[in-house]
Structure 1
Amino acid sequence: MKNSLQLLLLLCTVSIYSQVTIKQTKHDNDIKLSALPYYSFGKGIGLTSPDSLFQLNIRFRMQNRVSYIENDSENGAYDGQVRRLRLRFDGYVGNPKFLYALQLSFAPGDVGEIKDGENINIIRDAVVFYRPNKHWNISFGQTKLPGNRQRVNSSGGLQLTDRTINNAKFTIDRDFGFQVHNLNEFKDKFSYNFKTALSGGEGRNQTGKADDGIAVTGKVELFPLGAFTKDGTYFEGDIMREKKPKLLVSGAFQQNNHAQRAQGQLGNDLFERRTMKSVLLDAMFKYNGWAAMMSYMSRTTNENAVTFNPDDITESNYAFVGKGFDYQASYITKANYEFIARYSIQKVGEDIHTLAPNTKEYSIGVTKYIWEHAFKVQAELNYDTLDFFNGTSKNNWYLRFQVEIGI
């Protein structure tokens, strides 16, 4: 009892003399940064010092899912898991022009398998920004590169339960480095953004693998009919029910020099380094509850994509080269039920066509939005066909139920 009273007294003393107070202000706590297009609903939890010298915003989100999976020649199986569990902090220090953002992941699917000699992947984003005005974002640290549309979008802003097969293989994902974004978005007139990045090329949380190669990324985004409502570029589906047609077309290019991993910033280590070139094209349309997306992604290498172990020539690994198309369409009712269909084609490059299959993916889904993308219930049926070099094929499918919630 005595210890409890002492603890209560200590907490009261801290609350009286603390220099940090939680308060609701007229300003939106959400820090909108082009390199970190998290989906947000409401203002989260905000802490601002009385002298306004710093601000801290706190958010979390989680995805819980259960799937029934049936792969060709295998018995059906059930899988239940916390697919994503994220904790996010952002704010400013000293001046609102100097910002920071931190995102941590804790779910096993996020962190990945722990392997000897490799770093644990808890840190997803850790980046500082200088934002002199609304047109410029300059950043340094680890975060998403300005790549394909679906990867740039938060996984919390997806219509279906996961991204496409092409995103899984051809995305350029996160990296550590510098980025400069020039933003020129206007509500009802032609808008455009230019985004560039100079990064290490080895992906997130890499240490001890220094080399003489870097990745250079550039992206152009065009909005012929003006910007989307509530940053609608950064989430799928027309949940805002755009009153006027809105269109985005974008193109990105990256050259990753002397990459050490099979997918540039992702994948297993190669036995030899390869310079990789990625082309990423996207289009998005939204109007009155209807939405459509189309994407093209490709990766090539400067040499043969297959690499061999110099100590054992029978052991090999390869850079994943090839190209793919994604097509996606949806309609959301006034009761916030959304119906989605998606079709993906993936063709591997000639260097690896004896090692990896060509794939087609068909997906249909229904999503019920409770608090927009921040609280939603999703169901998805997915069917894949894999065609191998020797003429054989496999057909895999799964049925999935998922709940996402966050602040």
Structure 2
Amino acid sequence: MDSLIPTDLLNRLFETAVAAADPMQVLPRVLGPRPPGRVVVVGAGKASARMAEAVEHVWGPCEGLVITRYGYARPCQGIEIVEAAHPVPDAAGVAATRRMLDLLRGLGPEDRVLALISGGGSALLCAPAEGLTLADKQAVTAALLASGAPIERINTVRKHLSAVKGGQLAAAAYPARMRALLISDVPGDDPAFIASGPTVGDTSTAAEALKVLEEHAIAVPEAVRRHLLAGSGVLAPGAQALSRCETIIVAAPVQSLEAAASLARGKGCAVRSLGDALEGEAAELGAQLARMAMTYASARLPGESPLVLLSGGECTVSLPENPGLGGPNVEFLLSALNTLDGAPGIWALAADTDGVDGAAEVAGALIGPESLAQARASGLDPAQALAGHDAHSFFAALDAQVKPGPTLTNVNDFRAFLIL
């Protein structure tokens, strides 16, 4: 491993995965020359400001507006960057989305639109459907996030409560020609679920959205129930208003895993990729992959190369009332730590590539064979922390957090086990 210590290698793998999805690296490969005539740039997501910066790096100053998370703005020459709240929307996001829609509705058939869409756009691009309020959307979003529902089901509800998702952003620009560039943060990379599909049609129904809320026991405001019973404005995939929109995924989790795998092999490690779309309850998946790591460790022969197990996807956490400070990646890792029970020769890192895991400005954490003993020696109870969904506090006390700050991209969770 070129004398790299395990923690250094794991940190390097995460950094490499993030760098592979940097908009400044991926967008110049697909932009091509600037189209003639009027070009308007719009977008939303945790990576959108960095995407706008990359566009202007290639095309020069542009007209437009993108919405990103607080703290994720980038300097642009012409494109306006607005910051708003994530994961629960706020008034700043609503006001910026309204201005974006007004800008698009004034375009004609000779105009061009470049839409920059990434994970986080479901909250940041916020236009409550007619008859609904921001408070309605905030209540439903917060409840869904706490329910442990998979992101696809959450986004199904979001788009049917929206006047901008489910193809409605592209429809607002019609008859202008739109090209949408997407950075995927969803398992399977379906454009309909990336930021709730503002540029693509959708086959789900308002009735299905209502069923999601009922199955996850979400207390639904009466205005939301009435709206879903009446249907929604989501566009079908073949709608005429979408006929002049081209949607392209420019970065996805699998590319980041491949970049990390290449680095690991270059350091003399064997690599097993478990896929980029692992989902489920974070604690359950953490225990499952920890058991897998122990199985590989027990089968190792003397002199074998180190082994790296890589995976991506999106874990969920079902939260009770008044949970501690946690997130899916650190909950995954805390469960893995308990399951490993000090097993020798195994290190692990789990972190979100956007730099934020759940309820803290922390990407994730890193553990090794001594971590459990160190925790107990410090008076920390990992089982209690796991039961209270307080993993961020646990790893902060252990000084084991991964804190890259805003990464300006988002290709979902990154997990790596290193077995020596």
- TM-score, scaled relative to structure 1: 0.27
- TM-score, scaled relative to structure 2: 0.26
Which structure's relative contact order is higher, taking Cα pairs within 8 Å and 6+ residues apart?
2
Bigger fraction of residues in strand: 1
Bigger fraction of residues in helix: 2
